[in-house]
């Protein structure tokens, strides 16, 4: 009688315990490095197209497509960015007031909120919201085009997917982030001012003066600069994941989920790098 055979073992799988451990640790690291390398390559391809267009070679950036993407993803993000930013400003004012009041410095709420929002919270809020709207949407859109072989059709006609698909969406992501970061700053600081004046009994003149004294132009430019870089990261990750879709609808869903997770992690890590650089340059 023949016995049912189990699953055929993979002849390439490591057999010893140390080898299995090394494989378990090394495979994800190698996959991560490969993915980062792909993103860097996509960034270089994108910059090449942009520089050729700026150099007045026979390359067009596709501004109409970029504006269309900006309207589609940017306008959808305005409401939620305003809502989240307003809540953050509200929370900051209430949370900072009691400990500062113990030292008789309740009016310093304005100082802390202005710096925290302009440097960190404004760009971060805008980036996380844009990831959910633009990042997921771009990855799903391009992924669907890959599945339906539209990207392959572009390549068959000797048309660059980077030029026609990636560059307009990356430009739209960067521009949207610049605008949304400023919007987040204004709404968060404005809501904090409303709470401080109407509930915490901080005079308007005091709040206004403390904000103007504490917030410097470098704080605003730092936040806006971060916003631009965050938008670049979100656009590149979304487009890169979309172009790598395999496996039909399931692959599109996986790319969309991966885009959101990877974009949030990339934004946080980029913010960490910015903070370290600004601290070293004594800009904090």
Q: pLDDT at residue 24 above 90?
A: no
Q: Tell me the average pLDDT of the chain.
A: 87
Output the pLDDT for position 9. Answer: 58
Cβ density class 206-229: b for 16+ within 10 Å, e for less: bbeebbeebbeeebbebbbebbbb
List the structure tokens of 99: 């400990």
Q: Which of 256, 264, 40 is nearest to 143 (CA)?
A: 256
List the structure tokens of 213: 């004294």
The CA distance from 179 to 281, in Å, is: 26
Q: pLDDT at residue 93 above 70?
A: yes
Q: pLDDT at residue 227 above 50?
A: yes
pLDDT confidence band for 84 (50 / 70 / 90): very high
For 62-76, 141-155, 157-171, which range has the lowest pLDDT when averaged over its residues?
62-76
The CA distance from 146 to 248, in Å, is: 9
Higher confidence at residue 205 or residue 65?
205
Any idea where the domains of the chain sit in the sequence? Answer: 35-280
Burial class (CB in 10 A: 0-12, 13-18, 19+), 177: buried
Helices 136-147 and 167-198, packing angle to 10 deg: 160
The mean per-residue pLDDT over the stretch 251-271 comes to 93
Burial class (CB in 10 A: 0-12, 13-18, 19+), 165: buried
> What element of type H or E holds 26?
helix 17-54
Higher confidence at residue 89 or residue 284?
89
Q: How far is CA 47 from CA 30, 53, 155, 171, 236, in A?
A: 26, 10, 19, 11, 11
Q: Which of 244, 261, 254 is nearest to 142 (CA)?
A: 244
Q: pLDDT at residue 88 above 90?
A: yes
The mean per-residue pLDDT over the stretch 171-189 comes to 95
Cβ–Cβ < 8 Å for 140, 256: yes
The CA distance from 135 to 177, in Å, is: 12
């Amino acid at each position: 009688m023949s016995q049912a055979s189990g699953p055929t073992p993979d002849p390439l799988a490591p057999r010893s315990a140390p080898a299995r451990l090394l494989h378990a640790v090394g495979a994800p690291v190698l996959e991560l490095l490969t993915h980062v390398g792909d993103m860097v390559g996509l960034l270089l391809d994108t910059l090449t197209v942009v520089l050729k267009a700026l150099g007045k070679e026979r390359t067009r950036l596709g501004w109409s497509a970029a504006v269309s993407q900006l309207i589609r993803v940017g306008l959808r993000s305005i409401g939620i960015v305003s809502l989240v930013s307003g809540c953050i400003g509200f929370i900051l004012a209430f949370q900072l007031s009691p400990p500062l009041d113990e030292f008789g410095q309740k009016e310093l709420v304005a100082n802390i909120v202005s710096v925290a929002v302009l440097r960190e919270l404004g760009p971060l809020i805008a980036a996380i919201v844009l990831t959910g709207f633009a990042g997921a949407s771009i990855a799903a859109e391009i992924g669907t085009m890959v599945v339906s072989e539209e990207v392959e059709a572009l390549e068959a006609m000797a048309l660059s997917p980077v030029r026609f698909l990636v560059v307009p969406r990356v430009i739209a992501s960067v521009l949207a982030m610049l605008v949304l970061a400023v919007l987040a700053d204004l709404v968060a600081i404005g809501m904090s001012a409303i709470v401080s004046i109407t509930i915490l009994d901080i005079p308007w003149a005091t709040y206004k003066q403390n904000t103007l004294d504490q917030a410097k132009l470098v704080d605003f430019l730092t936040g806006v600069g971060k916003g631009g870089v965050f938008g670049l990261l979100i656009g590149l990750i979304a487009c890169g994941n979309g172009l790598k879709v395999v496996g039909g609808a399931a692959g599109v869903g996986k790319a969309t989920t991966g885009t959101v997770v990877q974009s949030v992690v990339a934004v946080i890590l980029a913010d960490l790098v910015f903070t370290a650089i600004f601290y070293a340059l004594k800009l904090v």
